[in-house]
Amino acid sequence: MRNTMDLAVVAALLGIMSFAAFLTTRLVARATMQVFRARGHNRRHVLIVGTNRRANSFVQELASHPEWGYCIQGFVDDQWWSKQTADSQLGTIVGGLDSVPELLRTLPVDEVIVALPLASFYQQIAGIISSCRDHGIAVRFLGTFFDQDESKRSDFLRGTIGTITLHDESWDAWAFLIKRATDITVSLLLLLALAPLFLMIALLIKLTDPGPVFFRQIRMGYGKRPFEILKFRTMVQNAERLMSQVEHLNETQGPTFKLKNDPRITSAGKFLRKTSLDEIPQLINVLVGHMSLVGPRPLPLRDYEGFSQDWHRRRFSVKPGITCLWQIMGRSSIGFDEWMALDMRYIDQWSVWLDIKILFQTIPAVFRGSGAV
């Protein structure tokens, strides 16, 4: 009997300690994030709909709390669109209400804050919500024009500001923290373990073709923020300039370019592409935070500019990755729309276990080499 009670006490103490450790970790992580944001890092870009008194109060609140990490991209409002006075009072007026879809295509926007009254601007706001849904962008309504009964609404509170959130694509903060911690740990360990392979591949590239070891290119990342991707070079040095000579040979539909027997690929490059070894330097991108181990593949700016459907752009609501569902399900043998649909499926169904499953399935997919170009 006493042993049973002792075990119960130990179990209770372990439970309390685990909860305390969990709570402490979250508080430390939140405090660290606030410090980073106050110093201008990890900012969230917002577009504010409206230039009324409600918008002004919201802006003043944001200005007094830099640790929240919000950066205002601009304001949209039909009332002020042709008037310059609003620029000095609030900030940059970047367009009217009907300009939101185009602004979401061209600007890095993480959230849209609606300050206008829903009853008066229902049709315009409904269109904005639809555009944000296509892009995977959260819409936050400043909550004063909804029922003020706190028991009947779910608010995201920032200081004295109440907001109602729709279509928020962001994942659970704790799960996201696990994903980032996994990215850092695994990428660092792999970079150390694969250092000899790095040297051998670098030597192979140098022996078979003059020029740099690495290929650097600007790709579109999370929130439509450009970043420089690293890969082992698999093409001749002037491959970008030669693009116009082979573009008409494109073997895939959509804005992306794929050519199985691309004449610009070097002899060593064919092997590196077949085995996906050219992707290894992207572990550096993962370590610094531009990419994740798993996520939609980052596309060149040229491909992004060719997107014809807004729902394709929802892939930028998460970090790009080294591997993804497209990578393990056929790669270049899959059509563009099906590829984008797989990215949407990943975003909608994401979990830590899905990432683990994709990582393990990537290994046999690489050995098969199916769809590699």
Mean pLDDT, rounded, for 73-79:
87
Residue 131: inside a domain: yes
Domain stop point among 155, 170, 185: 170
Residue 83: inside a domain: yes
DSSP collapsed to 3 states, 260-285: CCCCCECHHHHHHHHCCHHHCCHHHH
Confidence label for 152 from pLDDT (cuts 50, 70 and 90): very low
Residue 49: inside a domain: yes
Domain stop point among 109, 137, 170: 170
Boundaries of domain holding 47:
39-170
Residue 331: inside a domain: yes
Residue 181: inside a domain: yes
Rounded to 5 degrees, φ, ψ at 240 are -65, -40
Rounded to 5 degrees, φ, ψ at 110 are -95, -30
pTM comes to 0.74
Check residue 84 and give its pLDDT: 47
Check residue 146 and give its pLDDT: 43
Q: Which of 205, 235, 231 lies closest to 217 in space, CA to CA? A: 231
Count of domains for the chain: 2
pLDDT tens digits along 176-233: 888 999 999 999 999 999 999 999 999 999 998 888 999 999 999 998 899 999 999 9
Higher pLDDT among residues 284 and 69, named by residue: 284
| Shared-domain flag, residues 216 and 362 | yes
| Shared-domain flag, residues 229 and 314 | yes
| Shared-domain flag, residues 133 and 244 | no
pLDDT at residue 329 is higher than 80:
yes
Confidence label for 147 from pLDDT (cuts 50, 70 and 90): very low
136: CB partners within 8 A, 6+ apart:
167, 169, 313, 314, 315, 316, 317, 318, 347
Residue 6: inside a domain: no
Residue 45 sits in a domain whose CATH number is 3.40.50.720
Residue 123: inside a domain: yes
pLDDT at residue 60 is higher than 80:
yes
Check residue 173 and give its pLDDT: 67
Check residue 21 and give its pLDDT: 54
| Shared-domain flag, residues 193 and 309 | yes
Residue 19: inside a domain: no
Mean pLDDT, rounded, for 325-352:
87
Domain stop point among 147, 170, 193: 170
Higher pLDDT among residues 29 and 262, named by residue: 262
